[in-house]
């Protein structure tokens, strides 16, 4: 076994947008898992990467890969597991799945595409022990999870009373207690309403029994996020997701925290924006709100987004947005799983097939791409499908090809619903992403939005997470040869994780454990005392577990990687 | 004297986590807050214990060292062409985790006790879904509780007090705020405290469920009675179901294991799904073993399937009725078995037990069970949740950490540690071959 700690990658063409490197032929030096200036040529293993491009390891900001609802998705879809199998080898555990693959398989397949960091973006705090158990079994990747806080009773009560400091102390405690990384809101207030079978479509409706509006929750958590100095802005799945006309809610949501942005940093990250970019008043006149949202994003610096692109084919939708999943079940007639979580959130799962010939599905497909092509600054977009909601992550290279090549889009356009084709402006958008822009939306931007300073770039000191793809930009016309490019992006020539080669030609050759990040945030001290008082008084009234059994010990994380965070301004 | 609070009870799927266990000189002298079963378990767990590893020599089981027992167990598994690995519902997720890895390593079939309890629930779940929630939702919101084919006052003793009828929640404070409907074939203890009791004919659940669905939609049922229940009463209960603010249906083996099996569950899930047109309604299986839910969970994330997983092809495959352990045994296909914390010899069908005992058999268990008596290799283990730590999942899939309150006997390792050693030994033997 080779155990060389030094690695020299020679003659590769590097795309490292964070450091202004745009397709330059150069060498990359790696020592002890980090990028360094140079290595000792006598000691280093040399990897000749001629004919290959190099990018930082892929970073997925939003992908449902682990935890209770993903596992219920696996349970619901035995037929999904027959589509792809992974045999046991001396190195690899076996597995199955397509839209809801097993954990080991998830790690192998991501690494095979050159991805090295993935975020699980929705976990009910009460059940996050489960999420960590699965993340432990997701090899190779570095990861983190985002606790669902938008319908949390303590948070709604603090915010209702205007107790921002206490709310901040509670959030800091909770992130530590369940080892969570960022603040996630899913259809805030609406999931609590779903506890009674209801839902909130607008951000100024009132949450039943809690006398607070989604707007107040969003603003409150945005302030809390800033007060604690958390590394990433709040991540929000907007209200009224999936419904015609919902782009207005998305606009309102973005606007409502405009004044809270500080120092030019974003204050809000809109997740899977495609699902919240619909105009029109019903399914038959559903149209695109992508242009309007893109215009807003272009004009403002406080918003970032990820795409939530739809891919035609069969998948499994899953979200904490319980009311939406019930609607989707009724719309599609497909199987319905619901799972509400006490005092916190909910969740639903519905298998779904996106059909090219279906008007709404075809519109969804065009809307995602329209948005991606109309937002001028790629640093404001991350490539996602909201896996598995818009489609399985293993199909990302298809989206990459659509963005890189107009011809690829035109070929796909020919096969979609005619009315959608006629109504969409997608055919008139000439823009084609460059490889550098692709590197932004698949690694540099998500790493920056997540505040993972050692990820998403290849500067000295960065984690040596590197993806090499067999693409020679001097010989390849990205636009014409999109099939070839797509193939190359599907199977990384090499994936390097923390300086070790883990993938060769798309096949896993080494299986290290990845790290799990979480936020160890400092809390306002006085407020924290009050929060403890509240927890002791109310926790066991709200929950069915004892307060002492709620926190998750660090022993539950196989490679714990706490991120210490000091409060800003003392 | 030392009192440990917030202890999670390793008995049933309720996983009550409010026990206070007092230990004096290494012995448990009291266990407060728990039910009668819990108390009995804590005070008597050390009775009928296996004290040392055993190996079969002819008719007799004779003591053997732990290392040798592990070697023998590994040898049996390596020599077998198609071993079965069964049990898993009364141990920790950590042990289950290793169990799946071991099954994969030896190319066997692994199954948990869902195969004889809520397997039909899983099959119906896979066909049409399942609207559910955590128990706290029921405690805080439910004004209507239904127990169907389940008798919690004798099976899950604190279920009603902690989570349903007697629980003090945010919007429901007491028994008076909730209505109780019980459906069973006889007037159980639970039925005696019900507001509505429906005595259904044995195996009449599917018909009754269908009639209730008609009742909800105000369709004419052109009979006097369905499954032994007068139609007027069915219609009255249907109105009660429709009229609640938040309803919860809990169901037991009376539904899953009576005639119709997964079809009964199909009907039950359809009923609850229908009810969401008018109100909020959820459902939940009354899981028996304290960590059967964990077994399903761990199997799922590693293999994609909750029980009856076959690794003989080198990857997980699943087909209950073919890959489920009773069926494998009944067809006499397996040639060795390892049983962890379960007693199939005492409750499997005769034909399956005969096949199980005909082949080499390994048992890992704290207790001297009927299966252990017949085993070729017996390895005693520590009680998870009493003598060692581990993770377990409640019936609503909420994971909790089980605590260690006393030391295990010096001869007993945890299931997890024993399995880790067997797995290592299996790998070592395979390297040699």
Mean pLDDT of chain B: 97
Distance from CA of A401 to the nearest CA of B (A): 30
Q: Check pLDDT > 80 for residue A570.
A: no
Domain ranges of chain A: 6-57+457-508, 58-450
What average pLDDT does the segment B60-68 reach? 97
Chain centroid to Cα A172, Å, comes to 22
Mark yes or no for CB contact B93/A133 under 8 Å. Answer: yes
Q: Options 3.40.50.740, 3.40.50.2300, 3.40.50.720, 3.30.70.20; which CATH number does B48-116+290-432 get?
A: 3.40.50.740
Among candidates A555, A76, A466, A299, which has minimal Cα distance to B390? A555
Among candidates A499, A493, A492, which has minimal Cα distance to A458? A499
What average pLDDT does the segment A409-417 reach? 97
Top residue of B94, B295, B315 to mutate, by most chain A CBs within 10 Å, is B315
Q: Which residues contact B108 (CB under 8 A, 6 or more apart)?
A: B77, B80, B82, B83, B84, B85, B102, B310, B311, B312, B334
Q: What residues does CATH 3.40.50.740 cover in chain B?
A: 48-116+290-432
What average pLDDT does the segment A161-176 reach? 98
Class of domain A6-57+457-508: mainly beta
Mark yes or no for CB contact A76/B18 under 8 Å. Answer: no
User: Would you state the CATH architecture of domain B119-285?
Assistant: 3-Layer(aba) Sandwich (3.40)
Q: pLDDT category, A237, cuts 50, 70, 90? A: very high
Q: pLDDT category, A4, cuts 50, 70, 90? A: low
Which chain B residues are closer than 8 Å to A350 by Cβ?
Answer: 129
ipTM above 0.85, yes or no: yes
**Nearest-angstrom CA–CA distance, A319 and A238:** 12
Q: Which residues contact A247 (CB under 8 A, 6 or more apart)?
A: A276, A277, A278, A279, A289, A290, A292, A293
| B321 CB within 8 Å of a chain A CB | no
Evaluate whether A509 touches A501 at the Cβ level (below 8 Å).
yes
**Nearest-angstrom CA–CA distance, B294 and B300:** 10
Q: pLDDT category, A1, cuts 50, 70, 90? A: very low
Which chain B residues are closer than 8 Å to A195 by Cβ?
Answer: 137, 141, 246, 280
Which chain B residues are closer than 8 Å to A209 by Cβ?
Answer: 171
Q: Check pLDDT > 80 for residue A3.
A: no
| B9 CB within 8 Å of a chain A CB | no
Mean pLDDT of chain A: 97
pLDDT at A5: 79
Mark yes or no for CB contact A95/B318 under 8 Å. Answer: no
Q: Which helix (H) or strand (E) holds A382?
A: strand A381-382
Among candidates A165, A74, A245, which has minimal Cα distance to B297? A74
Q: pLDDT category, A465, cuts 50, 70, 90? A: very high
Among candidates A318, A305, A310, which has minimal Cα distance to A67? A318
Which chain A residues are closer than 8 Å to B315 by Cβ?
Answer: 85-88, 94-96
pLDDT digits (tens, 9 = 90+) for B377-410: 999 999 999 999 999 999 999 999 999 999 999 9
What average pLDDT does the segment B340-352 reach? 97
Helices A153-160 and A164-178: crossing angle, nearest 10°? 160
Q: Which helix (H) or strand (E) holds A60?
A: strand A58-60
Q: Which residue has the higher pLDDT, A481 or A264?
A: A481
Mark yes or no for CB contact A549/B314 under 8 Å. Answer: no
Distance from CA of A96 to the nearest CA of B (A): 6
**Nearest-angstrom CA–CA distance, A12 and A504:** 16
Q: Check pLDDT > 60 for residue A253.
A: yes
Q: pLDDT category, B270, cuts 50, 70, 90? A: very high
Q: pLDDT category, B364, cuts 50, 70, 90? A: very high
Q: What residues does CATH 3.40.228.10 cover in chain B?
A: 119-285
Coil, strand, or helix at residue B429? helix
Mark yes or no for CB contact A76/B131 under 8 Å. Answer: no
Q: Which helix (H) or strand (E) holds A497?
A: strand A494-497
Q: What is the CATH number assigned to the segment(s) A58-450?
A: 3.20.20
Which chain A residues are closer than 8 Å to B400 by Cβ?
Answer: 129, 545, 549
Q: What is the CA radius of gyration of chain B?
A: 23
pTM: 0.98
**Nearest-angstrom CA–CA distance, A186 and B143:** 27
Percent of the residues in chain A that have a pLDDT greater than 70, as a whole number: 99
């Amino acid at each position: 076994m080779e155990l060389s700690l030094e690695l020299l990658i020679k003659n590769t063409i590097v795309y490292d947008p964070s450091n202004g490197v745009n397709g330059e032929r150069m060498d990359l030096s790696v020592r002890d898992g980090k990028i360094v200036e140079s290595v000792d040529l006598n000691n280093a293993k040399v990897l000749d990467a001629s004919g290959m491009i190099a990018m930082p390891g892929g970073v997925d900001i939003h992908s449902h890969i682990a935890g209770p609802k993903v596992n219920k998705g696996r349970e619901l879809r035995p037929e999904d597991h027959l589509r792809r199998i992974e045999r046991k080898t001396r190195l690899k555990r076996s597995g199955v799945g397509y839209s809801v693959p097993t954990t080991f398989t998830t790690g192998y397949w991501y690494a095979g595409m050159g991805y090295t960091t993935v975020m699980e973006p929705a976990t009910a705090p009460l059940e996050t022990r489960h999420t960590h158990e699965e993340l432990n079994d997701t090899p190779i990747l570095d990861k983190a999870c985002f606790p669902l806080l938008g319908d949390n009773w303590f948070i709604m009560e603090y915010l209702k009373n205007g107790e921002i400091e206490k709310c901040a102390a509670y959030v800091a405690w909770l992130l530590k207690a369940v080892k969570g990384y960022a603040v996630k809101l899913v259809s805030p207030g609406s999931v609590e309403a779903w506890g009674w079978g209801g839902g909130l479509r607008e951000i100024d409706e009132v949450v039943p029994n809690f006398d607070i509006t989604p707007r107040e929750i969003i603003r409150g958590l945005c302030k809390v996020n800033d007060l604690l100095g958390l590394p990433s802005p709040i991540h929000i799945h907007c209200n009224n997701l999936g419904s015609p006309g919902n782009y207005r809610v998305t606009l309102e949501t973005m606007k409502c925290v405009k004044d809270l942005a500080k120092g030019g940093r974003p204050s809000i990250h809109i997740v899977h924006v495609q699902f919240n970019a619909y105009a029109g008043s019903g399914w038959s006149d559903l149209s695109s709100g992508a242009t309007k949202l893109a215009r807003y994003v272009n004009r403002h610096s406080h918003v970032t987004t990820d795409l939530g692109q739809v891919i035609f084919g069969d998948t499994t939708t899953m979200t904490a947005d319980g009311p939406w999943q019930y609607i989707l079940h009724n719309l599609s007639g497909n199987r319905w799983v619901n799972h509400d979580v006490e005092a916190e959130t909910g969740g639903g799962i519905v298998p779904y097939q996106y059909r090219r010939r279906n008007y709404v599905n075809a519109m969804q497909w065009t809307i995602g791409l329209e948005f991606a092509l109309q937002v001028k600054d790629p640093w404001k977009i991350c490539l996602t499908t909201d896996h598995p909601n818009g489609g399985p992550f293993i199909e990302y290279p298809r989206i990459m090809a659509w963005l890189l090549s107009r011809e690829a889009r035109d070929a796909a356009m020919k096969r979609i619903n005619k009315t959608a084709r006629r109504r969409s402006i997608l055919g008139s958008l000439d823009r084609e992403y460059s490889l550098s822009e692709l590197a932004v939306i698949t690694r540099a931007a998500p790493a920056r939005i997540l505040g993972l300073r050692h990820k998403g770039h290849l500067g000295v000191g960065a984690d040596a997470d590197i993806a090499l793809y067999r693409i020679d930009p001097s010989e390849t016309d990205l636009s014409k040869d999109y099939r070839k490019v797509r193939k190359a992006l599907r199977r990384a020539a090499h994936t390097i994780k923390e300086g070790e080669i883990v993938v060769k030609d798309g096949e896993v050759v080494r299986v290290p454990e990845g790290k799990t990040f979480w936020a160890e945030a400092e809390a306002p001290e006085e407020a924290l005392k009050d929060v403890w008082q509240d927890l002791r008084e109310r926790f066991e009234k709200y929950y069915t577990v004892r307060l002492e059994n709620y926190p998750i010990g660090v022993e539950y994380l196989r490679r714990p990687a706490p991120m210490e965070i000091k409060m800003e301004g003392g | 004297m030392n009192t440990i609070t917030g202890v999670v009870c390793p008995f049933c799927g309720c996983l009550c986590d409010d026990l206070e266990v007092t230990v004096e000189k290494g012995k448990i002298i009291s266990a407060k807050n728990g039910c009668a079963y819990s108390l009995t378990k804590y005070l008597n767990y050390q009775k009928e214990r296996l004290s040392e590893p055993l190996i079969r020599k002819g008719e007799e089981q004779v003591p053997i060292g732990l290392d040798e027992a592990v070697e023998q167990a590994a040898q049996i598994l390596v020599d077998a062409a198609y071993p079965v690995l069964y049990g898993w519902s009364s141990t920790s997720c950590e042990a289950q985790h290793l169990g799946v890895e071991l099954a994969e390593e030896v190319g066997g079939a692994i199954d948990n006790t869902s195969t004889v309890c809520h397997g039909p629930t899983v099959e119906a779940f896979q066909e049409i879904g399942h609207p559910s929630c955590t128990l706290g939702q029921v405690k805080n919101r439910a004004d209507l509780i239904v127990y169907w084919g389940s008798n919690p006052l004798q099976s899950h003793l604190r279920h009603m007090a902690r989570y349903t009828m007697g629980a003090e929640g945010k919007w429901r404070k007491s028994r008076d705020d909730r209505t109780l409907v019980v459906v069973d074939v006889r007037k159980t203890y639970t039925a005696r405290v019900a507001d509505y009791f429906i005595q259904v004919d044995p195996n009449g659940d599917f018909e009754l469920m269908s009639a209730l669905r008609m009742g909800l939609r105000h369709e004419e049922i052109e009979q006097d009675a369905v499954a032994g229940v007068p139609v007027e009463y069915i219609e009255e209960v249907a109105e009660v179901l429709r009229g609640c603010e938040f309803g919860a249906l809990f169901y037991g083996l009376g539904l899953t294991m009576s005639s119709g099996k997964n079809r009964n569950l199909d009907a039950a899930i359809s009923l609850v799904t229908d009810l969401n047109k008018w109100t909020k309604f959820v459902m939940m299986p009354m899981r028996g073993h304290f960590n059967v839910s964990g077994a399903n969970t761990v199997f799922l994330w590693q293999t994609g399937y909750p029980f009856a997983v076959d690794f003989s092809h080198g990857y997980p495959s699943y087909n209950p009725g073919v890959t489920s352990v009773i069926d494998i045994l009944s067809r006499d296909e397996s040639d060795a078995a390892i049983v962890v914390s379960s007693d199939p010899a005492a409750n499997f069908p005769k034909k399956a037990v005969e096949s199980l005992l005909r082949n080499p058999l390994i048992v890992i268990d704290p207790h001297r069970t009927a299966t252990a008596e017949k085993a070729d290799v017996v390895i005693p283990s520590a009680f998870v949740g009493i003598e060692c730590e581990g993770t377990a999942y409640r019936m609503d899939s909420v994971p909790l950490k089980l605590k260690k309150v006393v030391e295990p006997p010096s001869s007993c390792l945890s299931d997890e540690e024993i399995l880790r050693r067997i797995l290592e030994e299996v790998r070592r033997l395979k390297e040699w071959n």
